[in-house]
Amino acid sequence: MKLHTISINNLKRRKAKMAFLTIGLTVGIATIVTLVTLTSSMSSDIERKMDEFGANILITPQNNGLSMNYGGISLGGVTFDQRDILEVDLAKIRTIANNKNISAVAPKVLGGIQIGGHNVLLVGVNFDNELKIKQWWKIFGEAPTRGNELLLGSDASKVLNVGSGDSVTIKNEVFKVVGVLEQTGSQDDALVFVNLLKAQKILGKEGKITLAEVAALCSGCPIGDMVTQIAEKLPDAKVAAIQQVVEGRLKALDQFKRFSYAMAGVVIFIGSLIVFVTMMGSVNERTTEIGVFRAIGFRKSHIMRIILLEAAMVSLLAGFLGYVVGMGGAKLALPFMAESKNALLIWNSTVAFGSVGLALALGVLASLYPALHASKMDPIESLRAL
């Protein structure tokens, strides 16, 4: 016979009340687990989408140019004091405070050339990084791996009338077309892609780049801060975020997060009330019993331990059940809530331990006053008979 024997036996006797308390807490914890898991799963889904979407920070040379647009029609521009970005400077991007949020940096050098009598825009890229950023690219053939290999946009392929396996000549040098892009509906369709080093050589821009795209999206990324940080590292470059996409999606997720936290707060409050009322009722029903305990020499701390042990056992069970039910709820709700139907459910050990820990803390804290009340009961008043 130990104090926990009393707690366990009392729980067994008051099955209905303890079941009510367990269910109440389980529902609360399950709601929180569902919301937290949904939020993190949706964040992860959006991050994945963002990665697929591509770059969201654009680095271009600083200039004192004036764009000449009228009614949405570009008439070119007047540019003076054009500065180049040095390729070596790009390494500085990796030294910013939020460098962990950078998933890829894709430098490009652009320049006009002639192929078979046609004017085309040659783009030198680092194919490894480019393919990381442009995950939607579908290539008929393969991506270039050598310096004298080309990748053509679909329109460029049609205009030049060349396809995979054909050869073209650029500035007296023969290049083999190893791949053609499937139609993307973007500017990429009209471009000719070649290895960055080769392009720099062809265009006479060794060691220089025209622009760089940075993929740095995640739900919690401070894109604005990252833009500032990169701008500080590259004072001669113009750094801009593709704001609309970032802000729009993150704002929606942020709103859902806030809603989740508010819901979690309400649920915690209601859960605490359920525990408090049930435990207080239980203590009041056990007045005589507590009087007996006190009369036979139980200390106030012994009484508190009995009550808190009961609360802790129920809370632990509710925490475990709440996690299981909550994850089940999240699994059912995720396809309706996430942007993609194949969004992955995030199984997080922090949520598992957190839900059990939260239930335990909530149960014990809400039972503190009832336990204190029980320990302060006057044995004479409790027993009445004496």
Partner 1 sequence: MALIEISKVTKLYNSGVEIIEALRGIDISIETGEFITIMGQSGSGKSTLLSVLGGMNHPTAGDVKMAGIAIYQLPGEKLADFRAQNLGFVFQSFHLISYLTAIENVMLPLAIIQMSSAAKKTAARTALERVGLGNKLDRLPNQLSGGEQERVAIARAIVNNPHILLADEPTGNLDSKTSEEVMALFRELNCAGQTVVMVTHNPENGKYADRTINLKDGRVG
Query: Is residue 197 within 8 Å of 56, Cβ to Cβ?
Result: no
User: Does 19 interact with partner 1 (rule: CB under 8 A)?
Assistant: no
The residue type at 193: F
Select from 13, 112, 172, 336 the one that contacts partner 1 (CB under 8 A).
Answer: 13
Q: Is 306 in a helix, a strand, or coil?
A: helix
d(CA 200, CA 123) in angstroms, rounded, equals 9
Taking the least distance from each CB to partner 1, the nearer of 245 and 372 is 372
**What distance in Å separates the CA atoms of residue 303 and residue 310, rounded to the nearest whole number?**
11
Helices (H), 168-299: 196-203, 223-233, 243-285, 287-295
Q: CB neighbours (10 Å) of residue 173?
A: 12
Q: Based on CB atoms, which residue is closest to partner 1, 250 or 314?
A: 314
> 36 Cβ partners below 8 Å, 6+ apart?
260, 264, 351, 354
Residue number with CB closer to partner 1 (86 or 295): 295
Q: How many CB atoms lie within 10 A of CB 301?
A: 10
Minimum gap (Å) between residue 311 Cβ and partner 1: 17
Q: How far is the CB of 380 from partner 1 (least distance, A)?
A: 5
Of 51, 61, 69, residue with least CA distance to 85 = 61
Contact 182, 154 (CB under 8 A): yes
Whole-number minimum distance, CB 1 to partner 1, in Å?
4
Is residue 5 a contact point for partner 1 (CB under 8 A)? Answer: yes
Confirm or reject binding of residue 127 to partner 1 (CB under 8 A): no
* Of positions 82, 183, 187, 301, contacts partner 1 by CB under 8 A: 301
Residue from 300, 337, 354, 364 binding partner 1 (CB under 8 A): 300
Cα dihedral 249→253→255→259 (10° resolution): 160
Number of residues that bind partner 1 (CB under 8 A): 28
* Per-residue binding letters, 365-384, with partner 1 (x by CB under 8 A): --------------xx--x-
Instruction: Decide: is 197 part of the binding site for partner 1 (CB under 8 A).
Output: no
Check residue 299 for interaction with partner 1 (CB under 8 A): yes
* Smallest separation (angstroms) from partner 1 to the CB of 278: 17
- Of residues 163 and 379, the one with the C-beta less far from partner 1: 379
In angstroms, give the least distance from the CB of 320 to partner 1. 25
Smallest distance from partner 1 to CB 376, Å: 12
Q: 154 and 161 in contact (C-beta within 8 Å)? A: no
* 252 sits near partner 1 (criterion: CB under 8 A): no
Contact between 17 and partner 1 by CB under 8 A: the answer reads no
Does an H or E element contain 158, and which? helix 154-160
What are 368's two structure tokens? 């503190």
Rule CB under 8 A: which of 267-296 touch partner 1?
288-289, 291-296
The answer to the question of residue 304 lying near partner 1 (CB under 8 A) is: no
Distance CA 156, CA 172 (A): 19
| DSSP category for residue 189 | G
Residues numbered 58-77 forming contacts with partner 1, rule: CB under 8 A = none
Contact residues for partner 1 (CB under 8 A)? 1-3, 5-6, 9-10, 12-13, 288-289, 291-302, 379-380, 383, 385-386
